[in-house]
Amino acid sequence: MADSRPPARRFLPKKRRTPSVGREAVNIAYRVADRIHESREKSAVRAGNEPVIVPFVGYGKTSWVRVLGRAVYKTMMFSDIIDSFAGDQRATSPARGWRSFTSVPIANAEIDVVIGDQHFQVSADHGGVIDVELAIELAPGVHTVRMSTAGSDVVSSTVYVVPDDEKIGIICDVDDTIMVTALPRPLLAAWNSFVLSEHARMPTPGMPVFLERLHRAHPHAPIMYLSTGAWNVAPTLRRFLSRNAYPEGTLLLTDWGPTRTRWFRSGAAHKVDSLKRLAREFPDMKWILVGDDGQRDPDIYNGFALRYPENVAAIVIRNLTVGESVLASGRVWGDDRAREIAAGSLWMEANDGGTLSDKLRHSGLL
């Protein structure tokens, strides 16, 4: 008879109990943020701001698709971002990062989704984010998705239906992997997210060419840009990717603000959960995991490889320079623990996209 006992936990550190005062403070912060959101939404309605859908690129298989977008009110400060996003993805008008956070989401908005000749009625979440999985039979390739809500125009986006026989997928981190952000340091993160013009954001050296080569080598592979960034910055991030010639893919971002249990959502947990979901959705696919050693990518990817070894084609880590390491985390050395555990043919690292390309080419993946 199989042992039904739970796995031993003696090697795991004891979980610290959150003081009841701390939990209550978080709950209060959540309720205050909720009230502020409701007040802003009512003000947007009274001001006559129009509801709009900001569409994102989705993905799926021949039997289902994941549709992504966000329902917001078109406030004056956010209108230029929405207009440029809905029109030319390569728009040249710069926008400060803070403007992305002036949008007013439409909580629990009812959304009409049309794919081909099939209609669906779905709901946005409390932050206006549309993230739904729809059962539908579609041929492999790119399909148009039309979305609207009460009082809004119809907007179009796409979903990429992955061929059933495709065995390679690409998951790529954003911060300090394809875009220089120095995210872990709070002041620099705030500067990059809220102050810096989107045209001043710099692509990581060699990484646009590296990802384009990957895309050419695996033209039918789905590409996922996985980030701890908020959905608020999705339009700006999408334009950055397009302007710097990164291949088109799906953005997997997270929400912004306090939750019922913590002051802010866990970025690491968001990445881990997203990876688990992709492994479940594509059980026969091997992923090329691209990240950097400035945050927790090595540990997260290593954990994924240990849990799903059959779903990993390669772990590709871009090493930050000494200066970038200092800006990113205040240290000038890397954490070798993860790379020691996962050392082998799957693990590759280098300082730039060109060297990473060479290593992937030698492995037969490029």
In whole angstroms, give the CA distance from residue 128 to residue 208.
Answer: 31
- Residue 188: pLDDT over 60: no
- Spatial separation of the C-alpha atoms in residues 144 and 351, rounded to whole Å: 38
Strands 118-123 and 312-318 turn out to be: unpaired
Q: Mean pLDDT highest for which of 70-74, 118-122, 321-325, 331-335?
A: 118-122
- Which amino acid makes up residue 91? A
CB 297 within 8 A of CB 177: yes
* Domain residue ranges in the chain: 51-161, 168-363
User: Would the pLDDT of 9 be above 70?
Assistant: no
CA gap 188, 185 in Å, rounded: 6
Of the pLDDT bands very low, low, confident and very high (cuts 50, 70, 90), residue 150 is very high
Q: What is the pLDDT of residue 254?
A: 87
For the chain, the average pLDDT equals: 79
Give me the amino acid identity at 235.
P
State how far the Cα of 229 lies from the Cα of 100, in Å rounded to an integer. Answer: 12
Count of beta carbons in the 10 Å neighbourhood of residue 136: 19
Evaluate whether 52 touches 152 at the Cβ level (below 8 Å): yes
Q: Which of 5-14, 33-42, 56-65, 347-356 shows the lowest mean pLDDT across its residues?
A: 5-14
Q: What is the DSSP string of 245-287?
A: TPPP-EEEEE--S--SSSSS--HHHHHHHHHHHHHHH-TT-EE
pLDDT at residue number 63 = 98
Q: What is the pTM of this model?
A: 0.81
Whole-number Cα distances in Å, 226 to 52, 65, 178, 230, 272: 25, 18, 11, 11, 10
The reply to whether domains 51-161 and 168-363 share a CATH topology is: no
Domain at 51-161: CATH code = 2.60.40
Residue of 20 and 64 predicted with greater confidence = 64
User: CB–CB of 59/137 below 8 Å?
Assistant: no
Going by C-beta distance under 8 Å and a sequence separation of 6 or more, which residues neighbour residue 228? 175, 183, 253, 254, 267, 268, 270, 271
Q: Report domain 168-363's class.
A: alpha beta
Dmax of the chain from CA atoms? Answer: 67
